[in-house]
Structure 1
Amino acid sequence: MAFKKLDFRGPSFRSVLGFTFRHWAAQPWRILAILLTILLSTLTDVLTPMYAGRLVDAVAAGAARDSAWHAALTAFWLILALGAGSTLLRQVAFRNIIVLTLKMMSQIAGRAFHRVQRFSTDWHANTFAGSTVRKITRGMWALDLLNDTLLISLFPSLIMLVGVTVVLGVSWPLMGALVGVGSVLYVAITVALSLGYVAPAARLANAWDTKLGGALADAITCNAVVKAFGAETREEERLSRIVWKWRERTRRTWRRGTLNGGIQGGMLLLMQGAIVGSALLLWAGGQAGPGDIAFAMTAFFILKGYLRDVGMNVRNLQRSVNDMEELVALERQPLGVEDAPNARILVVRQGEICFERVHFRYGTHDRPLYEDFSIRIAPGERIGLVGPSGSGKTTFIKLIQRLYDVTGGRITIDGQDISRVRQDSLRRQIAIVQQEPILFHRSLAENIAYARPGATREEIERAARLANAHDFIAALPRGYDTLVGERGVKLSGGERQRVALARAFLADAPILILDEATSSLDSESEVLIQQAMERLMEGRTTLVIAHRLSTVRALDRLLVMDRGKVVEEGSHELLIRRPNGVYRRLFERQALELTRGLFLDADARRDGEAGDWLAEPDELAQANESARLP
C-alpha cells in the first residue's frame, strides 16, 4: 500500500481548505461564536467524568453519612447542569452554523454561475452542461458536510483529546501518556488511510460520477435525435457502459472505506484494553479507588466516542474535499476572454466597424486564420459575408462580439477598441439573430423581452408585429404567456426565427448581425422573415452571413471570403459579372442546384406526388438569370 499525500498539505486539500477558509473570513464573528460555543460545550464533556467519579465515591461511602449524601447530590446536580449547558451551547452553535453554511452555499453557487456564464465560447463548446451542473451542486452540498466536519466534529474531538489527556495525566501520568500517545497514533493512521488509500479511489469515482451526469444530460437534451433514429436501446447500452465503470469505481471506494473503518475499530479495541488494564493495575496497587476508576473509565469511554467519530469525520472530510475539488477548479479556470482593468462602457453613435491589421488563430493551431486583416464597414452599411465553410465568416462575427480575443491588431467600433470596453456594454450594442435561434423554457413574452427586461407588454407586442410573429402568438391558447419548451422545441423553426427577430427589434441596437435566418425554412415562413429582416435592417449597420446567395442581392456590399481573406468585394450586380469570379461560381452552383430542384418537383407533380414546396417567382427568376449570365 503506497501512501502519497498523507497529510493536509496535498494540493487537493490545500486548495479546497483554502477556498473554504476564504469564505469563512467573510463571516469572522460568526466563526468565532461557533468555535467558542463548541469549545465550552466540549469542556463540559471533559468535566463530566470527574463528577461521575465523585458520585461513585459518595455512593461507596454509604447513604447513612450526611456528607456522602450531600456530595452525591452535589455531583448529581452538577452532572445535570453540565449536560444542560452542553445541550444549550450546541444549539447556539448549530443555529450559527446553519446561517454560516447557507450564506456560503448561496455565495459559492452564485459565484460559480457567474464564472460559468463568463467562460469562453470554446470552454462551453467543449464542456457538458450536465457535468457542469453536477460539479456545482455536488460541491455546494459537500461544503455543508465540510463545515459540519471541521467545526462541529473535528474541532471538539481535538479539544476532548487534549482535555482528557491533561485531566488523566495530572492524576496518573502513565494513563495520561497512554491516552495521549494512543490517540495521536489512532488519528495519524486514520488520516493516512483516508487520504492515501480511500481518497484516490473516491476522486476517480467522482470523475465517473461527473461523466455519468454529462452522459445523461447529453442523451436527454438530444432526445429528439434519439427518437428520430430509433436509438433508444443504443443510448441505453452506451449509458450502461458508463454506469458499469461508475459502479466499479464507487464499489472500490466503499470497500476501501469499510476496510478503513475496520482498522480503526481494531485500534480502539487495543486502546480500550490498555486503559482498562492500567486502571486495574492502579486499583490493585492501591493508587486508585472506585471513584477514580469510574472517573478514568468514564473519561475514556467518552473519548472513545469522539475517537470513533474521528475516523468517520476524517472520511467525511476526505469525501467532502473530493466532492468540492471540481467546484474549486472552476474558480481557478481562466475566463478566456476577460475585461481589461478599468474597462469603459462602449458608446455607439454611428456604428462604424474597423478591423485594423488583425491577426487571429484558434488555440494552439499553427496556422492563423486572419493575418494582417483590415476592413472598414461604414455606419449604416449593410454587408453580406459570403464564402465556403471554413472561410472565416462566423469567426468574423465572433471577433466583433469579442467571443474571442484577437492575437494581433485591433477591432474598433466608432473608434473605440473593443478589447478596452466592457463586454456586456459591447454586446448590448449588437443584436444578433442566429441561424438556429435558442429560446429559454419560459414564456414567449419573457423570451422576446430578454433583449430589454423592463419592456412593457405593448412594446413586446409591437416588436412581435414588426417581426411578423404577433399573429401566430395571438392564436395560441395562452398567447404571449405560452411556455416554449426547452430551447423552444414547442415552436416550429419559422416561429422560433420570428421570436428571435422580435427580440432583436426590441433590443433596438445600432449594430445588427443576421446569421442566415432563412436557410432552412419553408417558403411562407421565409417570405415573412425576409419582410421582417428588411424592416429590422433599416438605419442599422448590418452584417449578414449568407449561405443562400439570394438573400444578399439587395445588400450594399458583399465580402467574399476564403481562408480568412477577402478575395472579392462589391455589390451583387458587380460581382456576378466578374468572369471566373469566386462569387459568380458560388452563385451559378446554387442556381444550378435550384433549377434541378424545380425540375424534380415538377416531375413529382406530374406523377401526382406533389413536393412539400412550390417554386416562388423570385427563385425562378434567379435560375433564369443564372442561365443568361455572360
Structure 2
Amino acid sequence: MTVVRRTRRADAMRTVLAFTFRHWRRQSALVAGVACAMVTATLADVFMPYFAGRLVDALMLVSSDREAARDAALAAFGAMAGLGLGMVVLRHLGWSGIIPLTLRMMGDISQDAFHRVQRFSTDWHANSFAGAVVRKITRGMNALDTLNDTLLLALLPSVTVLLGTMLLMALHWPVLGLVVGGGTLAYIALTLYLSTSYIAPVAKLSNALDTRLGGMLADAIGCNPVVKAFGAEAREDERLARVIGKWRNRTWHTWTRHTRSGTTQNAVLLLMRTAVVGTSLVLWWHGRATPGDVAYVLTTYFVVHGYLRDIGMHINHLQRSVNEMEELVLLHDEPLGIEDRPDARPIRIGAGEIRFDHADFHYGAHTVPLYKDLSVTIRAGERVGLVGPSGSGKTTFVKLIQRLYDVTGGRVLIDGQDVSRATQASLRSQIAIVPQEPILLHRSLAENIAYARPGASMAEIEQAARLANAHDFIARLPRGYATMVGERGVKLSGGERQRVALARAFLADAPILILDEATSSLDSESEALIQEAMERLMQGRTALVIAHRLSTVRTLDRILVFNQGRIVEEGSHKALLHRPGGLYRRLFEQQSAPDRDRRSAG
C-alpha cells in the first residue's frame, strides 16, 4: 500500500511538471531568457566569496608591501562591485521576464480549463459541484504562479550556486568539496523525502477538503432561497461547521508536518556547518590554507547555507504547488465524453425532419438499455408531443437529438444527416430549446435574449420579446432591457423567466424547436401568455413538446406515448382518447379527475 501511495505521488509530480513544461514550450524564448538571466546573475554569488578571500589576503600584505596590498585590495573590491552590479541588473531582467510568462500561462490554463469544462458531458456536470470546479481552477492558477517562481527564480539559482561552489572548492581542496557536496546531496535527499513522502499525503487530503468546502459554500449560497424557505440557516451553519472542523484538522496536520520538516532540515544544516568550519580550520592549521582561504570558505559556506535553507523551502513550495495544481491538471486530462469526430462537418438543417433509425441507448454503466431498436420519424414541420410516465425516455429522446449523449447503436438523423458526424456547435445552434426551468445568465435582459444570436440588433431583440409576450413587463422595469436579472435569473418571476427564454428561442429562429413543459408551475395569466407565444413560435418549425400536463398537447399534430423506453402509442389527442385501455387515455383520465373535483367543489 505504501509503495502504491509513493507511486501516485511520483506520478502527480511527473504529471504536473510535464503539464507545466508543455506550456513553457509555447513561450520557449521567454523561458530561456529568464533562465539565462537568473543563472548568470547567480554566478555572482559563486565568485563573490572568492574575491572576498582575495581581499582578506590583500589586507594581510599591508605590513610588507603597502602599494601591492592596495592594488590587490582595489582589484578584489572592483570585482566584487562589478559582480554585485551585474547581479542586480540580471536579476531585475529575470524577475521582469517572469511576469509576462506567468500571466500568459495563467491565462492559457484557465482558458483551456474553462474550454474543457464547458464541453464536458451532461453527466459530468450533473455529478460536479460548480463551486468545487471553480475552486480547482482558481487554486491551480495561483499555484502555477508559485511553481514558476520556485523553478525559475529559486531552484534554478540554488542549483547553480551549489554546483558552482562544489566545483570551485573541489579544485582547491578536494576534501572540502567532498564535505560540501556530500552534505548538500544528503540535505536535498532528506528534503525531497520529507516533502514527497511525509508532507504531500496530508497536503493532498487537506486540498480535497478545501475543494469540498468551496463546493459546499457555493451550493448553500446558490440555493439560499430554499434555505430561507425552510428556515434552515442554523442547519446550514452546523453543516458548514462540521466540514470546517474536518478541514481544520487536516490542515493542522499538514502545517505541523511542515514545522517538523523545517526543524529536521535545520538540524542537518547545523551538522554540515560544523563539518565545513572544522575542516577549514584543520586545513589552516596544517598550512594548506591562508586566512583569506578560510575567509573564502566561511563566506562560501554561509552563501551555500542560505541557498540550502531556502532550497528546502523551495522544494516544499514545489510539492505544495504540485498538490494544488493536480486537480486542475486532472481536469485537462478528463475525457470530454461527447467529442466531435476528426472528420465532423457543420450540419445544415433545412426542413427539419428527425429520424431515429434502429437506435439503441443505455446510460453509462447501466446494463439494461433504455432504448432497444427504436425507430420513429418526425416529419418536417410536424408538431409532436412526447408524453409518458417519469423515466419513460421522453427527455432522453430530445437529448439524443441534441447529441448531449450518443446512441450506442443505430443512428439519429436530421434531414438525412447523422448527428454523430456533425459538429456539436452547428447542430445545437439550429435547435431552439425552452426548458421547463429556464436558466438565465447574470447579465442584462437584452444580453440574455441575444444569447441565441449575439449579433442581433436592439430592434430584433425587442421584436423577439414582443412575440414572446415579454416586451411589456420588460418596458415597465426601471432600466428596461438593461436590467440585470441576477444569478440564474433570480430577480424575475417564473413566468417572466419563461417569457425571456421564449424570446431567446424566437430570436434563434431555428428550424427545430424543443419545448420542455414550458407552462408548468405558472399562474393562469402567465400560462395563457406563454401558451399564446408558444403557438406562435411553433409555426413553420419542427416542434417537439415534452408534456406532463396533457392539456398542453391537445392541438398538436401527433403525440408519441413513451413507456419504459418504447413508443407504445402514437396518434392525435382525439384518436388516443378513443383507444380502449390505452396508456394515454389512462394518464389523461387521471389528470382530468382532480380538475373535475375542483370544479365541483367550486
| TM-score of the superposed pair, with normalisation by structure 1 | 0.94
CA–CA distance in 2 between the matches of 1:208 and 1:425? Answer: 40
Task: Indicate the residue corresponding to 1:626 in structure 2.
Answer: none
In structure 2, what residue type is equivalent to 1:569?
Answer: E
C-alpha contact (below 8 Å) 2:403/2:419 kept by paired residues:
yes
Q: Displacement of 1:9 after TM fit? A: 8.1
User: Does residue 26 of structure 2 align to residue 23 of structure 1?
Assistant: no
In structure 1, what residue type is equivalent to 2:366?
Answer: H
Q: After alignment, is 58-67 or 38-47 more displaced?
A: 58-67
Task: Indicate the residue corresponding to 1:490 in structure 2.
Answer: 491
The superposition leaves residues 202-242 of structure 1 with CA deviations (integer Å, 9 ceiling, x where unpaired) of: 00110000000001001001100000000000011011111
C-alpha contact (below 8 Å) 2:9/2:200 kept by paired residues:
no
C-alpha contact (below 8 Å) 2:403/2:424 kept by paired residues:
yes
Q: After alignment, is 117-126 or 159-168 more displaced?
A: 159-168
In structure 1, what residue type is equivalent to 2:30?
Answer: R
Task: Indicate the residue corresponding to 1:457 in structure 2.
Answer: 458
CA–CA distance in 2 between the matches of 1:18 and 1:306? Answer: 26
Task: Indicate the residue corresponding to 2:267 in structure 1.
Answer: 266
Q: Displacement of 1:437 after TM fit? A: 0.2
C-alpha contact (below 8 Å) 1:139/1:327 kept by paired residues:
yes
The superposition leaves residues 140-174 of structure 1 with CA deviations (integer Å, 9 ceiling, x where unpaired) of: 11011111111111111111111111111111111
User: Does residue 48 of structure 2 align to residue 48 of structure 1?
Assistant: yes
Q: Displacement of 1:597 after TM fit? A: 2.7
Q: Displacement of 1:330 after TM fit? A: 0.5
Runs ≥4 residues deviating over 6 A = 1-9
Alignment: residue pair count:
601
User: Does residue 121 of structure 2 align to residue 114 of structure 1?
Assistant: no
CA–CA distance in 2 between the matches of 1:72 and 1:461? Answer: 84
Q: Displacement of 1:594 after TM fit? A: 1.2
Task: Indicate the residue corresponding to 2:12 in structure 1.
Answer: 12
Q: Displacement of 1:56 after TM fit? A: 0.8
Map 1:181-580; keep pairs closer than 5 Å: 181-580=182-581
C-alpha contact (below 8 Å) 2:399/2:405 kept by paired residues:
yes
Q: After alignment, is 538-547 or 147-156 more displaced?
A: 147-156
Summarize the Cα distance change of 1:154–1:379 in structure 2 as closer, same or farther, 3 Å threshold: same
C-alpha contact (below 8 Å) 1:7/1:195 kept by paired residues:
no
C-alpha contact (below 8 Å) 1:6/1:191 kept by paired residues:
no
Q: Displacement of 1:521 after TM fit? A: 0.5
C-alpha contact (below 8 Å) 1:8/1:14 kept by paired residues:
no
C-alpha contact (below 8 Å) 1:429/1:509 kept by paired residues:
yes
Summarize the Cα distance change of 1:413–1:245 in structure 2 as closer, same or farther, 3 Å threshold: same
2:373 match: secondary structure: strand
Structure 2's unaligned 5+ residue stretches are none
CA–CA distance in 2 between the matches of 1:580 and 1:286? Answer: 113
In structure 2, what residue type is equivalent to 1:50?
Answer: Y
1:25 match: secondary structure: helix
Task: Indicate the residue corresponding to 1:613 in structure 2.
Answer: none
Task: Indicate the residue corresponding to 2:160 in structure 1.
Answer: 159
CA–CA distance in 1 between the matches of 2:456 and 2:410? Answer: 38
CA–CA distance in 1 between the matches of 2:186 and 2:514? Answer: 68
2:258 match: secondary structure: helix
Q: Displacement of 1:44 after TM fit? A: 1.0
CA–CA distance in 1 between the matches of 2:381 and 2:188? Answer: 73
1:356 match: secondary structure: strand
In structure 2, what residue type is equivalent to 1:154?
Answer: L
CA–CA distance in 1 between the matches of 2:5 and 2:391? Answer: 48
CA–CA distance in 1 between the matches of 2:533 and 2:222? Answer: 31
C-alpha contact (below 8 Å) 1:39/1:159 kept by paired residues:
yes
Q: After alignment, is 26-35 or 301-310 more displaced?
A: 26-35
Identity of aligned residues (%): 62
Q: Displacement of 1:29 after TM fit? A: 1.1
1:10 match: secondary structure: helix
The superposition leaves residues 581-600 of structure 1 with CA deviations (integer Å, 9 ceiling, x where unpaired) of: 11111111111011223344
CA–CA distance in 2 between the matches of 1:229 and 1:211? Answer: 24
1:357 match: secondary structure: strand
Q: Displacement of 1:3 after TM fit? A: 7.8
Task: Indicate the residue corresponding to 1:621 in structure 2.
Answer: none
C-alpha contact (below 8 Å) 1:398/1:404 kept by paired residues:
yes
C-alpha contact (below 8 Å) 2:61/2:68 kept by paired residues:
no
CA–CA distance in 2 between the matches of 1:490 and 1:274? Answer: 72
C-alpha contact (below 8 Å) 2:9/2:196 kept by paired residues:
no
In structure 1, what residue type is equivalent to 2:87?
Answer: S
C-alpha contact (below 8 Å) 1:391/1:562 kept by paired residues:
yes
Q: CA RMSD in A?
A: 1.3
In structure 1, what residue type is equivalent to 2:507?
Answer: L
CA–CA distance in 1 between the matches of 2:261 and 2:33? Answer: 34
| TM-score of the superposed pair, with normalisation by structure 2 | 0.98
Q: After alignment, is 29-38 or 104-113 more displaced?
A: 29-38
Q: After alignment, is 28-37 or 205-214 more displaced?
A: 28-37
Summarize the Cα distance change of 1:576–1:139 in structure 2 as closer, same or farther, 3 Å threshold: same
C-alpha contact (below 8 Å) 1:3/1:197 kept by paired residues:
no
CA–CA distance in 2 between the matches of 1:47 and 1:514? Answer: 76
CA–CA distance in 2 between the matches of 1:2 and 1:417? Answer: 50
C-alpha contact (below 8 Å) 2:382/2:542 kept by paired residues:
yes
CA–CA distance in 2 between the matches of 1:244 and 1:429? Answer: 50
Q: After alignment, is 575-584 or 119-128 more displaced?
A: 575-584
In structure 2, what residue type is equivalent to 1:538?
Answer: Q
Summarize the Cα distance change of 1:203–1:466 in structure 2 as closer, same or farther, 3 Å threshold: same
CA–CA distance in 2 between the matches of 1:238 and 1:92? Answer: 50
CA–CA distance in 1 between the matches of 2:122 and 2:7? Answer: 38
Q: Displacement of 1:8 after TM fit? A: 11
